[in-house]
């Protein structure tokens, strides 16, 4: 199987450089080397193939804005035949390019700089890449720092309310993430289409509707302004929910047998 990579001269599909695979060259790169249109190169290759002079492997080409096209991959010998047919004066360029490809393969797919200018360009590119990465990381750190006070305040709010998120409950007890939602909806404790406790769920004492972290207001079906809320588990009733899950699903509701045994121990202790 041929794998395509890009030459150092642009996004031109070229030979596979993976160890153990034969080198090939694409019709797209040949067109660039001989400064000809890609469709003309392909037509020439098709005529040569019809005469049994060369063989090629058609491959899909990634789209660059238009419809995806097709390129032809040929081996070293056939690439010389194609170039000789198209533009014999460009044979020297083809020889140089094959030498580059063979050096890249010998070095594991990385072209070694041949001149001081190439080495300097590579160094500058690496410096720019590292600089952009540092800027991106600083921006992420700043965003996290700006959000942290809000996160801390919300966590304090949940603690005061005596509730925890369903995902936090699952992580704490090793419950698979979808099982609490299943049992709560099956028992009519939570709405089927949203994470919001029903009146039955609120009366059970297991669930409580609390303001969302990024709380906002919306207009309900009655035209009234309502603050966005979501159902969370009352910490003092976690064991009750665990019992419901164990009774309904058993071990299959837990991530492993250790979590299942721990849940049964909690249920037995009544804590």
Q: Which candidate, 168, 178, 165, 164, places its Cα nearest to that of 254?
A: 178
> Mind listing the pLDDT tens digit for each residue in 95-138?
777 877 777 777 665 555 556 566 667 667 777 777 777 777 77
In terms of C-beta distances under 8 Å and separation of at least 24 residues, what long-range contacts does 216-221 make, across chains too? none
CA–CA separation, 90 vs 11, rounded Å?
Answer: 21
Q: What is the pTM of this model?
A: 0.45
- Cβ neighbours of residue 158 closer than 8 Å, sequence gap 6 or more: 164, 165, 210, 232
DSSP reduced 3-state for 209: strand
Return the residue matching tokens 């090939």: 24
- Element (DSSP H or E) covering residue 123: helix 116-161
- Mapped to the 3 state alphabet, what secondary structure does 4-65 carry? CCEECCEEEECCCCCCCCCCCEEHHHHHHHCCCCHHHHHHHHHHHHHCCCCCCEEEECCCCC
Walk along the chain (271 residues) and give the pLDDT tens digit of each residue. 333 333 334 333 344 444 456 788 899 988 888 888 888 899 989 988 888 888 899 888 765 556 668 899 998 888 888 888 777 767 767 777 787 777 777 766 555 555 656 666 766 777 777 777 777 777 776 766 665 667 677 788 888 889 998 989 999 999 998 899 999 999 999 998 888 899 999 999 999 998 876 655 555 566 666 667 889 999 999 999 999 999 999 999 999 999 999 999 999 886 6
In the chain, where are the structural domains located? Answer: 6-112, 113-161, 163-269
H-helix or E-strand spanning residue 164: strand 163-164
Cβ(91)–Cβ(80) below 8 Å: yes
- How many other β-carbons are positioned within 10 Å of the β-carbon of residue 91? 14
In whole angstroms, what is the distance from residue 200 CA to residue 190 CA? Answer: 8
d(CA 215, CA 150): 12
Please identify which residue in the block is written with the tokens 């533009």.
87
> CB under 8 Å to 90, separation ≥6 — which residues?
33, 34, 35, 83
């Amino acid at each position: 199987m041929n794998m395509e990579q890009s030459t150092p001269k642009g996004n031109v599909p070229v030979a596979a450089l993976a160890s153990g695979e034969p080198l090939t060259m694409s019709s797209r790169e040949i067109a660039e080397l001989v400064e000809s249109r890609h469709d003309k190169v392909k037509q020439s290759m098709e005529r040569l193939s019809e005469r049994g002079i060369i063989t090629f492997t058609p491959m899909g080409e990634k789209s660059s804005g238009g419809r995806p096209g097709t390129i032809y991959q040929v081996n070293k010998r056939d690439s010389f035949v194609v170039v000789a047919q198209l533009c014999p004066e460009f044979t020297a360029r083809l020889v140089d390019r094959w030498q580059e490809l063979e050096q890249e393969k010998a070095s594991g797919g990385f072209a070694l700089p041949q001149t001081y200018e190439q080495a300097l360009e590579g160094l500058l590119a690496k410096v720019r890449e590292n600089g952009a990465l540092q800027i991106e990381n600083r921006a992420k750190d700043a965003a996290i720092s700006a959000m942290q006070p809000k996160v801390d305040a919300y966590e304090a709010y949940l603690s005061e309310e005596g509730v925890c998120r369903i995902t936090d409950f699952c992580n704490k007890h090793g419950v698979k993430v979808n099982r609490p939602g299943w049992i709560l909806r099956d028992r009519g404790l939570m709405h089927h289409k949203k994470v919001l406790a029903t009146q039955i769920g609120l009366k059970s004492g297991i669930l409580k509707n609390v303001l969302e972290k990024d709380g906002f207001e919306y207009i309900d079906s009655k035209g009234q302004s309502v603050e966005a809320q979501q159902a969370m588990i009352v910490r003092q009733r976690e064991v009750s929910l665990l019992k419901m899950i164990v009774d309904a699903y058993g071990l299959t509701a837990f991530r492993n047998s250790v979590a299942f045994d721990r849940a049964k121990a909690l249920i037995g202790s009544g804590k």
